[in-house]
């Protein structure tokens, strides 16, 4: 029996490393618990050290092995709205919380592999966005992506992807993908510029963002729903949270209020003008200013508002959502431009799962069919096995590299993998045909000629694929990237190994 060549050994080593990249070490499918997919910034859990990516294995001494366990442990625990002690055990730490509400985190099942799936397969909403009435420069686009990412991250969204893209005409866009969101959710989040202003009369006291806002309370006694009432067939819930102004904003507040008069009311003495809160130039709320704040440099301001709902629970949910959105805008500031959505898509996660299953079954069946055809054509079982092994190796290598670089696999990426399989089979048939030619050339010379044909096809494909990186505002980038990875791995690793396998079989 002949010894394996270094090219075949290289294929085996790269294949082993790809499997490690896909499944990790130790393999992720052996891990128990739930994955922390997102933690709201400035929440109690965040401040106590709970971070995205940690694995929760226990709560209050009870083992957590699934999402159902997690829900069962927390269900009904915070109904009293009193501060309750909660002990969360992760794989490497113990976190103790004292809060009157459930931890502001989003959890998910631990992925069985390190392969990241894009929106087309995971489900959610995607928007292609541009500035309204303005062609963005690369620098402006980068700033827009950064601010939008901060806003969406602060809002507590998980599985979020915000990237700059451009088309062949030089137009710059922002691509936003959010797993698990609906198009309406996404449209609401990005259609508003989020310009927050607090005014007394016509004078601006402070605006949202780091310049005027040093901190925003998002948990504990300084933030939450403080009352709910029922009237005229609907429920109303009031929320309140504290913000902390910068020194400059506090001085502006003192200078403006120092010139105001005082009105006496049955509820107490207040200044004769209110603090108006405006979002995108629309009045959100008007707050009375206590007489004690007249001309006073204060860095602490209480923001309040209310929302309604058909039921009490719905009113609470709407109030919490409105409060969260206000807090997010106060923290991140307004977007630098008004945005318009060029394209808005959605896909069901169930459709994505069924698609993956169907594609892999169809792909595997096609490989088996091709191997059978190869067997009947060349009458060599070993050649069929070698072709099948090489094609499957290419798919594993592509997935391994995608896992390593954290590339999101979407529908174009899957199409790229299928294109790579087809190209690989064509080139392996060229190698088999050249190896069987009855010519005066040696087997080594014939295989070398076959490889020169393959190299020519490779460089032609690379030139053809590069424009697809930008075509359609980058929506075809997945196809280009996975195909380039596949055909490059083929030329450098799998084709040379297959050539050696064929030479060993023929000899």
Q: Positive or negative, the Cα torsion across 133, 137, 139, 144? A: positive
Take residue 125 and report the two structure tokens written for it: 């909403």
Q: Can you tell me the distance from the alpha carbon of 108 to that of 33, in angstroms, rounded to the nearest whole number?
A: 9
At residue 165, does pLDDT exceed 80?
A: yes
Per-residue confidence (pLDDT) for residue 439, from 0 to 100: 58
Q: What is the mean pLDDT of residues 350-360?
A: 65
49 to 42, 109, 155, 385: CA distances (angstroms): 11, 21, 19, 52
Q: Positive or negative, the Cα torsion across 197, 251, 240, 321? A: positive
> Of 180-184, 257-261, 366-370, 456-460, which gets the smallest average pLDDT?
180-184
**Interacting residues of 126 by C-beta distance below 8 A, sequence separation 6+:** 119, 175, 176, 177, 178, 186, 343, 344, 345, 346
Q: What is the DSSP string of 395-426?
A: HHHHHHHHHHTTPEE-HHHHHHHHHHHHHHHH
- Given the structure tokens 């007394």, which residue do they identify? 200
Per-residue confidence (pLDDT) for residue 234, from 0 to 100: 84
**Interacting residues of 305 by C-beta distance below 8 A, sequence separation 6+:** 238, 239, 277, 284, 285, 319, 322, 323, 326
387 to 366, 390, 422, 431, 496: CA distances (angstroms): 12, 5, 12, 11, 12
At residue 237, does pLDDT exceed 80?
A: yes
Task: Kindly report the pTM of this predicted structure.
Answer: 0.61
Per-residue confidence (pLDDT) for residue 353, from 0 to 100: 63
Between 186 and 295, whose confidence is greater? 295
Give 409-433 pLDDT, tens digit per residue: 777 888 888 888 888 888 888 888 7
pLDDT band at 159, cuts 50/70/90? low
> Of 21-25, 35-39, 126-130, which gets the smallest average pLDDT?
35-39
Per-residue confidence (pLDDT) for residue 183, from 0 to 100: 61
Q: Can you tell me the distance from the alpha carbon of 249 to that of 206, in angstroms, rounded to the nearest whole number?
A: 6
Domains and CATH numbers, the chain: 6-26+349-506 (1.20.1640.10), 32-109 (2.30.42.10), 124-193+341-346 (3.30.70.3400), 196-334 (no CATH)
Give 289-333 pLDDT, tens digit per residue: 888 888 888 888 888 778 888 888 888 888 887 787 777 777 777
At residue 350, does pLDDT exceed 70?
A: no
If you average pLDDT over every residue of the chain, what do you get?
Answer: 80
503 neighbors 445 (Cβ within 8 angstroms): no
> Of 63-77, 187-201, 270-284, 296-310, which gets the smallest average pLDDT?
187-201
Per-residue confidence (pLDDT) for residue 345, from 0 to 100: 74
Per-residue confidence (pLDDT) for residue 375, from 0 to 100: 76
Strand (E) or helix (H) holding 381: helix 381-404
């Amino acid at each position: 029996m002949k010894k394996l060549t270094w090219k075949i050994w290289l294929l085996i080593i790269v294949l082993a490393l790809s499997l490690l990249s896909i499944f990790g070490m130790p393999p992720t499918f052996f891990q128990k618990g739930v994955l922390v997919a997102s933690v709201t910034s400035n929440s109690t859990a965040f401040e106590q050290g709970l971070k995205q990516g940690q694995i929760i294995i226990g709560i209050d001494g009870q083992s957590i092995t699934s999402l159902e366990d997690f829900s069962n442990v927390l269900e009904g625990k915070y109904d009293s709205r009193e501060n309750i002690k909660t002990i969360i055990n992760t794989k490497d730490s113990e976190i103790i919380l004292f809060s009157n509400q459930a931890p502001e985190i989003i959890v998910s099942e631990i992925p069985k592999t390190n392969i990241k799936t894009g929106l087309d397969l995971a489900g959610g909403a995607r928007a292609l966005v541009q500035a309204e009435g303005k062609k963005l420069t690369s620098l402006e686009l980068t700033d827009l992506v950064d601010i939008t990412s901060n806003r969406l991250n602060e809002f507590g969204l998980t599985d979020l992807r915000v990237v700059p893209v451009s088309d062949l005409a030089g137009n710059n866009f922002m691509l936003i993908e959010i797993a698990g969101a609906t198009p309406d959710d996404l449209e609401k989040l990005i259609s508003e510029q989020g310009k927050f202003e607090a005014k007394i009369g016509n004078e601006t006291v402070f605006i949202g963002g780091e310049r005027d806002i040093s901190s925003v309370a998002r948990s504990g006694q300084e933030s939450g729903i403080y009352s709910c009432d029922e009237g005229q067939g609907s429920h109303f819930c009031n929320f309140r949270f504290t913000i902390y102004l910068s020194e400059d904003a506090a001085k502006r507040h003192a200078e403006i209020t120092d010139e105001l008069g005082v009105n006496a009311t049955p509820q107490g003495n207040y200044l004769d003008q209110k603090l108006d809160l405006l979002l995108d130039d629309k009045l959100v709320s008007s707050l009375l200013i206590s007489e004690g704040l007249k001309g006073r440099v204060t860095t602490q301001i209480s923001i309040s508002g209310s929302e309604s709902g058909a039921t009490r629970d719905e009113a609470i949910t709407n109030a919490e959502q409105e409060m969260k959105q206000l807090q997010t805008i106060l923290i991140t500031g307004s977007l630098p431009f008004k945005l318009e959505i060029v394209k808005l898509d959605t896909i069901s996660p169930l459709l994505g799962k069924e698609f993956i299953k169907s594609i892999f079954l169809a792909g595997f069946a096609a490989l088996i069919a091709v191997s059978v055809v190869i067997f009947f054509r060349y009458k060599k079982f070993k050649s069929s096995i070698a072709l099948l092994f090489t094609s499957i190796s290419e798919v594993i290598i592509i997935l391994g590299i995608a896992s390593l670089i954290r590339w999101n696999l979407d529908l174009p990426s899957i199409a790229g993998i299928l294109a790579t399989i087809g190209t690989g089979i064509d080139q392996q048939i060229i190698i088999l045909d050249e190896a069987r030619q009855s010519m005066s050339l040696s087997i080594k010379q014939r295989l070398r000629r076959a490889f020169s044909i393959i190299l020519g096809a490779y460089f032609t494909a690379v030139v053809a694929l590069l424009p697809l990186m930008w075509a359609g505002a980058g929506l075809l980038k997945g196809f280009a990237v996975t195909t380039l990875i596949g055909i490059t791995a083929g030329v450098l690793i799998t084709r040379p190994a297959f050539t050696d396998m064929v030479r060993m079989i023929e000899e």
